Structure 1
Amino acid sequence: MNEYGVVLESGAVRFERLLPGSVERVWSYLTQSEKRGQWLASGAFDLRVGGQAEMLFKHSEITDETPPDAYREVHENGVRSTGTVTRCEPPRVIAFTWGGGGEPESEVEFELVPKGEKVLLVLTHRKLANKAEMTSVSGGWHLHLGLLEDLLTGSPRRGFWSRLKVLDAEYAARYADLSEPGKG
């Protein structure tokens, strides 16, 4: 399975990971603060449409690597983000708005599909405002989903900050020929 995100349409990227099951186990790593905080961000999710999705991105809790200067604040002190649950079908689908960095709100959707003893996780991030945002979230999701995969398989954690610059450059190259979202 390709680890890289793919562009679905203008302003939307999708990632797929085949993870060790069960669906309920993977669901818990998406929706429970303590488990989600090990690979993405902690924070309470009110699991109903219209409920609040709180996240505290504190990267010192997911990696021991020294961050680049630009990310020192999020690494050490964390950054809070609040969204609204737009779809919730436990234990298969959770979607919520995603705001940040001064960009308009986008939407993240996780879908879980049983595949024998494994689970196909499909992550779709839509309504991304421009190629720079698509590149940024793609590199970020690539890294964070790698950490989730490591947790679920019991593998040693792969690098995070040490891989960011390379992934950002790879996604920028992959998206170079795309038109800006909303412009064709």
Structure 2
Amino acid sequence: MTMTETLAVNPYGRLTEPATLTIERLLPGPVSRIWAYLTDAEMRRKWLADGEMEQKAGSTFELVWRNDELSDRPSVRPDGFAEEMRMTSRVLDVQVQKRLVFTWGESGEVSFDLTPQGEEVLLTVTHRRISDRTNLLMVGAGWHMHLDILAARLTGDPVEPFWDGWQRLRAAYDQRLPA
């Protein structure tokens, strides 16, 4: 990824509706590689969360976060966060190597849209029905940090410790998103 291409996509999420956050990343392709990082539990575990997922609408699966394991360097986990977090979700839509949509726990929904752009892939993550501003800041910082880790995994760059980055980004989202 060249510096010019990197600057073409704003790394920060933006409110596209009152309770909807959209965040984009231009990633090195091909699409099949990015798709594998979304759907294969072993690959997804390296940047987001573990959990076997059947690529079929209606199937349920569990996401298992162990954010402490996402980087080689340790960071201090903020108070109130467990070493492991789990959430049951249900696949809503699968268009192989194009779109993946699943529920976010009981109330939210997340979609991943992949658009080839030459040798790169535009990944658009849309998180809908975020309950309140506190969760919006946590979700914004969370997706931003997880996508930064995905980009680092894809390029071979060093990975910033998750919680250090998350706390920095949470403060940035508090400034960027309207109260």
Please report the TM-score for the alignment, with normalisation by the length of structure 2.
0.90
Q: How far did residue 53 of structure 1 move?
A: 2.8
Matched residue, 2:54: 46
The Cα RMSD (Å) is 1.4
Q: For structure 1, list consecutive stretches of 5 or more residues without a partner in the other structure.
A: 178-184
Mean Cα displacement is larger for which, 128-137 or 30-39? 128-137
Q: How does 1:57-136 map onto structure 2 within 5 Å?
A: 57-63=65-71, 64-70=73-79, 73-74=82-83, 78-99=84-105, 105-136=107-138
Q: Does 1:18 align with 2:20?
A: no
60-69 or 24-33, which deviates more: 60-69
* Corresponding residue for residue 146 of structure 2: 144
Between 53-62 and 82-91, the greater mean CA deviation after superposition: 53-62
**Length, aligned pairs only:** 170
Counterpart amino acid of 1:51?
S
Deviation at 1:66, TM superposition (A): 2.6
How far apart are 1:164 and its partner, in Å?
2.1
Percent identical among aligned pairs is: 36
Residue 176 (structure 1) aligned with residue 178 (structure 2): yes
Contact 2:67–2:163, Cα closer than 8 Å, also in 1: no
**Hey, what's the Cα distance between the residues in 1 that align with 2:109 and 2:24?**
17
Q: Following superposition, which runs of at least 4 residues in structure 1 exceed 6 angstroms of deviation? A: none
Return 5+ residue gaps in structure 2 as ranges.
Answer: 1-8
User: For residue 66 of structure 2, what is the amino acid of its counterpart?
Assistant: K
SS at 1:96 equivalent = strand
Give the Å deviation of 1:174. Answer: 1.6
Partner residue in 1 for 2:45: 37
Give the equivalent residue in structure 2 for 1:182.
Answer: none
In structure 2, what is the equivalent of residue 161 of structure 1? 163
- Counterpart CA distance in 2 for 1:72 and 1:128 is 19
**Equivalent-residue separation in structure 2 for 1:73 and 1:65 (angstroms):** 15
TM-score by length of 1: 0.87
